[in-house]
Every structure is written in structure tokens, then in C-alpha cells.
Chain A
Amino acid sequence: MSTITWPILSVLIWLPIAGGVAMLALGDRGIALGRWIALITTAVTFGISTLLWTNFDTTTASMQFVEERTWIPLFNSLYALGVDGFAMPLIVLTAFITPLVVIAGWTVIEKKPAQYYAAFLILEGLMIGVFAALDAMLFYVLWEAMLIPMFIIIGIWGGPRRVYATIKFFLYTFLGSVLMLVSLIYMYLQTCDAGQCSYMIADFQRLPLGLNEQLFIFVAFLAAFAVKVPMWPVHTWLPDAHVEAPTGGSVILAAIMLKMGGYGFLRFSLPITPDASDTLDWLVISLSLIAVVYIGFVALVQQDMKKLIAYSSIAHMGFVTLGSFLTFELMRVNSGDMTGAAMGIDGAMVQMISHGLISGAMFFCVGVLYDRVHSREISSYGGVVNTMPVFAAFMVLFAMANSGLPATSGFVGEFLVILASFRADFWYAFLAGLTLILGAAYTLWLVKRVVFGPVANHHVAELKDVNGRELLVLGVLAIAVLGLGLWPAPLLDVMRPTVENLVQQITVSKL
């Protein structure tokens, strides 16, 4: 059982935010000190988040480290926090990635550095809050509030088309989420009719809902989460946002923000509207497969490194949605294939964590090159291995992981999802399996063009290999990617009761 008696989740949320406010107060003049504040805050946050992992009870699916305070009595909304096997790994991932972002921007950010770090720190607190919120209203507030720092990050520190990209990013996500808000309010009023007004997600999950209600709610959720994941065809904001965002912004966006869509499906869509999910799973599965195959081809023809990785993110996130929604198909076809269903969700979760690490690492790699040459065009590079051998080794490793090579974390998630889809339908597995070819094709071709070959131009010839700071970031990520790939059992153990519970939950019809 957890032995932590102090409000650990609140600390995880508010510590970075307090650090961010402190940085704003300090301003650019005290940036030498400010950088250290940022680093120490995020490092301490990560340290505390590991306590979540070590004190986590892996035998129960119920929420742990729960905190509850009244917040808005009139709406019966609580400041309620807690984590289960889905939220906890994502929180640790968030706390793990943010210090790396701080380190990566150490000397690179010259424009308004204090605000840069402050935005990331505040963003970290909000993101942890999204994963930890047990109250739907709290969840929504943090979910939307998160857009503000990201909007600023892309808008101020982004590339030439940053304004277009950031407004598109904001409006797209905002548009997706507002209908979710209406459905949350609707469900809240349903709980009132049932006698106990509540915004708790757990109460929503227990709420009996008719099929038509469920379908509307499901579509509203789909709009919110599909934009965030992002699923084809609402993915178009992502390549723009990624390309224009500064390296740190891209990393956070790919590594964590996209995961919120997948997390939302697992936390809201599946358990709250199981029958609607069952009815419409064909839609999500087809969109996922389109993402995997079609976006894979799109990635192949990109000229811009960041764009290529952005499209590869969309393709990889397709596995997350595919794994989550295969469950229903498995229940139908194999008359209650619990193992297969659990496998799909396991795969989705592992894929999220692993993609968080790998895509983050890939964006770091691009950032390293960009900081030196100030170009993201693939054609500006070639033969980087000759001048940056250490960097090249890392980039090749992450590229292998991105294409799902066994022994890297990229393999585990994809493999689990493909296995689960085999149980459902051969053609699902066939299409999903194409990613192994496509992913390898676009990633390795990227590596070939950028890293190998003769030195392309004088920029490449003048490149200096990674410095200690970059080595630290890439090294830590490499260890995580390999660790999770070789030994995913701890992660699966942490999730098992939660996954089993979810599968149980969604097999029971609400009708």
C-alpha cells in the first residue's frame, strides 16, 4: 500500500507552477540563476514522481494517492486527484521529459529565456494535473489551460510561420474540446437526476445512459480526443505545429500532449460510453488504420525532418487508438476474448509511453542538427556521421526504435497491438503490420539521407559533435528506450489491474 501521507500529486502539480511563477518574477536579468531554478524544480518534480512509481500498489485498480477537497460547491465540483495504472506512468513520463527539455534549451534559447522556462514549467504542472484529475471539471480546466503556455511557446519561440501554426493549433484543439464540455455538463445533470450531483469521472462511468445519449457523448469525446491524438483526418494542425515549434515545444507536444488524446479515450470514451464505442468502433479502427498506412506513405515523401517525424507520430498514435478500440471487436468476434482485449489496451499504453520517449528523442536529434545548421530540410544534410559520430550513433538508435526494432521500446507496443489485431481480424493485422515496412522505410531513408553518405556541404563539414549537455539528454533517453524495450514487465505490471478492470467495465453494457 502507499505509505505517502502528504499530498504528493498536489506537490507534483503546483511545484513546477510555483517554479514557473518564480522564473517570471525573476525575469531575464536573473537568467543564470533562473536556469538552475528551472532545472532543479523539474528535477525535483521528477524525483518526487518516482515516489509514485515505487509506492504504487500494483494489486489494485482503484485510484491511489487520492486527494479530495471541495472546490466549487455550487457545481459540486471537487479538487480531486488520484492515479491508477494509466495515469501514473504518464505522469512519470511527463516529469521525466520536462527536465530534458530544460537541459536541451540551456544555451540555445536567447530570446526571453525566463519566460521560455516559465512556460514549460507551468505547462508541466498543468499536464500532470490533466493526468491526475479525477473530477471531470478539473480535468477540463487543466486540459484547456494547457493550451495557453503551448500557444505562447510556439508563437514566441517558433519558426517563420509560427503565428499561423500556433493559432491553428489553438483553435483546432479548442474546437475539438468544446463539445466535450457540453457533454460533461450533460452528464453532470444526469447525475443530478440520479440523486447525487457530481462531476467525478468515476460517477460518470457508473452512469446509466441510453444508446442515443451515448452516441452523442461518444462523438463529442471523439472530437476532442481525435484532434489531440491526432487521428486522420483532423491531424493537419500537428505537422504545422511541430515544424514551427521550438525543439522543446515539439518534444513536449509529441511526447506528452498527444498522449492526452489516448488517455482520454481510455479514461472517458471506453468506460463512459461502452455501447456507443461498441457501435462505432469500426469508425475509430478504420481511421486508425488509415493513419497507420496512409500517413505512413505521407511521411515517406516529406522533405522536412520535423514534418517527417510529425507524420510518423500520427502513424504511431494510430496504434494507440487501434489497440484501445480493438477490444470491442475482440469481444464480438471471439466471444469475450479478455486476454486479447487486455493485450490491445496494454499495447496502446506501452505504445504511448514508448512513443513519448522515441518521438521526444527524435525531435531532440533534429534540434541538435537545427541548432548547428539552422535548417530542417533533409537536403541540407548528408554524411553527418563523418563529423558527428557520437550523435549519429544515437540518431540511428532512435531511428531503429522508431521503426519498431525488437529490443527497443517501439517494438513492444506495436507488437502487442498487432498480436491483438490478429485475434480480431487478419486484415487488421495485415494493415497494421504494414507499419513495420513503412516505418522502417521512412525512418531509415531519413537516416540514410541525413546521417550517411559523403559529406554534403560545408555546413556539415563544419559540424561539431554533441556536447556534454546534449549527450546527457540523448543518453538518458537512449537508456529509457532500451530499458523499456528489453524489460517492459514493470510497466505492464503497473498497468495490469487497471487494464483488467477497464476490460471488465466495458464488457458490461450500460443499456
Chain B
Amino acid sequence: MQEVVTSFGMQAAAAEIFLLTAICVILLVDVFLSDSKRWITYGLTLLTLAGSAFVTVKYAVDGRVTAFDGMFVADPMGDVLKLFSYGTVAVSLLYSHDYLKRNGLFRGEFFILALVALLGVMVMVSAGSLLTVYLGVELLSLSLYAMVAFDRDSGVAAESAMKYFVLGAISSGALLYGFSILYGVTGTLQLDELAVGVREVGAGNLGLVFGLAFVIVGIAFKFGAVPFHMWVPDVYHGAPTPVTLFIGSAPKIASFVLAIRVLAEGLDAMVASWQNMLIAISVASMIVGNVVAIAQTNLKRMLAYSTISHVGFILLGILAGTNDGYRAAMFYTLTYVIMAVGSFGMILLLSREGFEGDQLEDFKGLQRKSPWFAAMMMMLMFSTAGVPPFVGFWAKIAVLGAVVDVGLVWLAAVSVLLSVVAAFYYLRIIKLMYFDEPSDTYAIQADGTLRTVLSANGLAVLALGIFPSVLLDLCARVLP
């Protein structure tokens, strides 16, 4: 009997175990490779991602399975999110390949850090206890700090890594402090027991609410929601573009799952308390994100503020506190990641030797140089703005539906009005690409992989916009 349980535990975590093993292998192999053979690390990393996907699919679960004494949870939502994380990490690595090579960043550590960060995401996704959550958060965050500082000759990158690290450490502290209070009041770290414990103590318990406030601070920080957003623009701007791209991908899924596991599963009885906190955070994020984005001249920085506003939307879904809402938030997160990866991919597409391509001005007249990629960027921008028939629109619909359903019509109205503000700065990019003349004559130099994947990414935004059911039904299946 004991053996069965143990082996079951291993199976539930098969993907994590596989990934960890592979990371060790790559780490060892990489040591013995000369710089000209670095592509082997790169190839192994991609193979690892494919292998993890295979393992995840093979050991996919139908219902909720716990392992390691409840510390670890495998459920369909987790499987889907993990698969999605592999995909986005793979795409972001494919996008980054060229840039890394050109800037002397094509080193084994980059890929290993990326995989460790991914492992952190997976641990968070499968967390069954507050401790596991924290473990995942730190695994992810520490890898990201290092990745931001990866270009060690860049002062800006070092500065933003420092900011990220200091603020991140404080927020992790807040999160941990909140967890400890929850533990103190309910006597458990296990999320399912916590849910029972909260009901026994009563959701109005002052200690619990006090702890919750700290937990919310931690979650809001990891999401990058106002007023804990200060790091987002600096880190997005300062980090090398591939790292920015990476931060915009899988870690967003992690933030979502952090909120779901802790708030929706552990503290569901306290929904009345965290709903109000999240309403304030969400509205503030949408206002600050959208309004400040207008003033930006750097695309990475603009997208950082746009992220903040999208986080506000994701939080709208979560704060509804219903399954519809969680599903909508999940759908929103996934579509946001698809769009964000594409947008940062466009910056990488434009970049070339000694040229970052991250200024808004750099997009001037892109339509002249490459009608195809201008069209891709246009679709990505319209989608991010939430204009149909692109998938970003459906994300907004899903979230608005959840919010209106719980009677917060005013909140829905505020958010759509703010999305009109957002439309302005996305339109500005389209204006630069389509209505202005190019300011230089350089042709796009990106390699075939980047071109192909980016095209697929852009077309996916349109295809999912016309047939949103593909992704919506998936979210509905794992979050019934």
C-alpha cells in the first residue's frame, strides 16, 4: 500500500522530475561544450521542453490527484497550464536565438535559468500547500533576477535586476508573512485544509484578514498590479529583450495560478474580503497602466504599462470569485501570453547588430519594409486592444461576463471605458507602421525560424479570434 502511494506521488510529479533531471544533464553537458558547440545546449533545451510536454501528456490526470502528503497537486488545469508554459517558453527561446547570438548572450546559463524558472512555474502550478507555493515563487523569482542581469556589461540591466531583486525580496517577505499568519490562525499550510480551517475560524477573523492583506500584496507584486507595479516598467525596459519576452510569458501564468491556488482554493471563504481588495487594485491597475502607457516612447516600456492594465483585467476575472470568473481569468491569461510573446517577438524581429528596435519610432513605415510583418503586428496590437475579430476581444468578453454576472456592472463599464484609452496607444503603433514613412532603409534581418514562428503567432491571434471556442472550451473543461 505504502509503495503504491509513493509511486503515485512520483507519477503525479513526473514532468517536474523529468525537467529537473534534464536541467542537471544540460548543466553538465554545457560545461564541456565550446562556444561553437553551444547550439547543443539550445537543442537539448528545446528537446527537454518537448520531452516535458510528452511526459505531462502521458501522465495527464482526469481529476484532482494529490501527492507528497498533499504538498503537490496534479489536476487538469495544472496540466493545461504546464503544457502552455512549455509552449510559450519554447516560443520565446526560438524568438531569442538570434538576438542572443548577436549580443554574445548565447550561453548555457541562459537556457538553464530559463528551465529552472519554468520549473518554478510548474511547482507553483501544482502547489498543494502554502510552502510549495512559496518554493515555486522563489525558484521562479531567483531565476528571473539572474536572467534580468544576464547581460553583465549593461548597466541598465544590472540596475533593473537590482530593483527587481530588492522589491521582489520585500514582496516575497510580505507573502511569507501573510502565509505565516494564516498558518498561525488555522494551524495548517495545506490549501484544502486551509479552506476548511478558514470556515471554522470564520472568514471575518481579524487575524485572517490581516494575513490576507499581506498575501494580496505578494500576489499583486508578482502580477505587477498597481500600487505594486513599480518594478514592471524598469525591469521590462532594462532587461535584454529576450528576457523581457520571457518574463512576459510563463511567469504570467504563474502569477495567475498563484492567485487561483491561494485565493480561490485556500481562501475561498474569504471572497468578500479579497474581492474588495482586488477591485481597488484592478481599477488602479487599469487606470495607471493605460494612462501612463500613452506617455511612453519606448515600446518595451509601453508594453510594460500595457501589461499592468491587462493584469487589471485578469484580476477582474479572479475577483468575480466564481468558476466563470476563474475560467475567464485563465482564458485571459493564456491569450494575453500569446499576444505578449508575439509583441516582444516583433521587437526581436526588428533588432539587428547594434540596434534594439524597441523604440516606437523604429516601427515607422514598417509596412513599406515588410507588409506581412506589419500586418502581424497590426493584428497583435488590435488583439491586445481588444478589438474583434481578434482573440483579445474574447478574453475581455469572458471577463466582463463574469464581472457583470456577480452584479458589478459599474466595474465592467469602467473597464471598457479604460480600454478605449488603451486603444489609443495601440493605434499609435499601427499609425507608425502604416501611415508614416520609414526613417531608415534597413531590411529585416531576422532568421527563418523567427519569421515562421512569429507568423504563426500572429495568425493564431486571428484564428483564435474567429474560433475562440478552441481555447475557451479547453479552459471550460479544466475549470468546470
Contact = CB atoms under 8 A, between A and B. Distances in A.
Contacts of B394: 72
A155 interface: yes
B118 to A, nearest CB: 29
Contacts of A162: 435
Contacts of B416: 178-179, 181-182
B404 interface: yes
A141 B392 CA distance: 12
A170 B382 contact: no
Contacts of B423: 170-171, 174
A163 B424 CA distance: 12
Contacts of A182: 400, 404, 409, 412-413, 416
Interface stretch (A143-151, A248-256, A272-280, A430-438): A143-151
A189 B404 contact: yes
B400 A181 contact: yes
Contacts of B413: 179, 182
A109 to B, nearest CB: 16
A198 to B, nearest CB: 14
A178 B393 contact: no
A73 interface: yes
Interface string A125-150: 00000000000010011101101100
Interface stretch (B241-249, B283-291, B349-357, B469-477): B469-477
Contact of B424 (A71, A152, A167, A179): A167
A255 B120 CA distance: 57
B20 interface: no
B434 A155 contact: yes
Nearest to B394: A72
A117 interface: no
A155 B469 CA distance: 33
A410 to B, nearest CB: 35
A171 B404 contact: no
Contacts of A189: 401, 404-405
Nearest to A144: B388
A178 B472 contact: no
Given A170-B427, A189-B401, A155 B388 contact: no
A155 B401 CA distance: 33
A185 interface: yes
B409 A74 contact: no
Contacts of A115: 371
B55 interface: no
A322 to B, nearest CB: 29
B129 interface: no
Contacts of A175: 417, 420
A182 B418 CA distance: 13
B438 interface: no
Contacts of B434: 152, 155-156
A75 interface: yes
B329 to A, nearest CB: 14
Interface in B119-143: none
Contact of A72 (B371, B387, B404, B468): B468
Nearest to A70: B469
Nearest to B401: A185
Contact of B387 (A144, A155, A167, A188): A144
B469 A73 contact: yes
B468 to A, nearest CB: 6
Nearest to B432: A163
A188 B401 CA distance: 9
B364 to A, nearest CB: 12
A185 B400 contact: yes
Given A74-B473, A163-B431, A185 B397 contact: yes
Contact of B412 (A151, A163, A170, A185): A185
A80 to B, nearest CB: 15
A27 B367 CA distance: 13
B424 A147 contact: no
Interface in B442-480: 468-469, 472-473, 476
B431 A155 contact: yes
Contacts of A36: none
B393 A141 contact: yes
B363 to A, nearest CB: 14
B387 A148 contact: yes
Given A181-B416, A185-B404, A186-B409, A73 B388 contact: no
A16 to B, nearest CB: 15
B223 to A, nearest CB: 24
A147 B387 contact: yes
A186 B404 contact: yes
B420 A167 contact: no
A221 B420 CA distance: 17
A428 B423 CA distance: 40
A260 to B, nearest CB: 15
Contacts of B382: 148
A275 to B, nearest CB: 19
Interface in B365-395: 371, 382, 387-389, 393-394
A171 B431 contact: no
B419 interface: yes
Nearest to A186: B404
Nearest to B436: A163
Contact of A178 (B417, B427, B473): B417
A297 to B, nearest CB: 32
Nearest to A170: B427
Interface string A151-180: 110011000001100110011001100110
B45 to A, nearest CB: 35
Contacts of B393: 141, 144
A145 B476 contact: no
B291 to A, nearest CB: 15
Given A171-B427, A185-B400, A189-B404, A178 B468 contact: no
Contacts of B401: 75, 185, 188-189
A167 B468 contact: no
A259 to B, nearest CB: 20
Contacts of A188: 401
A174 B388 CA distance: 11
B476 A74 contact: yes
B471 to A, nearest CB: 10
A175 B421 CA distance: 9
A70 to B, nearest CB: 8
A74 B388 contact: no
A156 B433 CA distance: 10
Contacts of B412: 182, 185
A191 B126 CA distance: 37
A74 B393 CA distance: 15
B439 to A, nearest CB: 16
A153 to B, nearest CB: 11
Nearest to A154: B435
Nearest to A115: B371
A174 B420 contact: yes
B476 A75 contact: no
Interface of A: 27, 71-75, 115, 137, 140-142, 144-145, 147-148, 151-152, 155-156, 162-163, 166-167, 170-171, 174-175, 178-179, 181-182, 185-186, 188-189
28 contacts: A27-B371, A72-B469, A115-B371, A140-B388, A141-B393, A142-B388, A144-B393, A145-B387, A148-B387, A151-B427, A151-B430, A155-B430, A155-B434, A155-B435, A162-B435, A166-B435, A170-B427, A171-B423, A179-B413, A181-B416, A182-B400, A182-B404, A182-B416, A185-B400, A185-B401, A185-B404, A186-B404, A189-B401
Interface of B: 371, 382, 387-389, 393-394, 397-398, 400-401, 404-405, 409, 412-413, 416-417, 419-420, 423-424, 427-428, 430-431, 434-435, 468-469, 472-473, 476
Given A73-B469, A155-B434, A178-B417, 6 more contacts: A72-B469, A75-B398, A75-B472, A137-B397, A156-B434, A181-B397
Closest 10 CB pairs of A and B: A178-B416, A141-B388, A155-B435, A175-B420, A74-B472, A144-B388, A145-B389, A182-B412, A72-B469, A145-B388
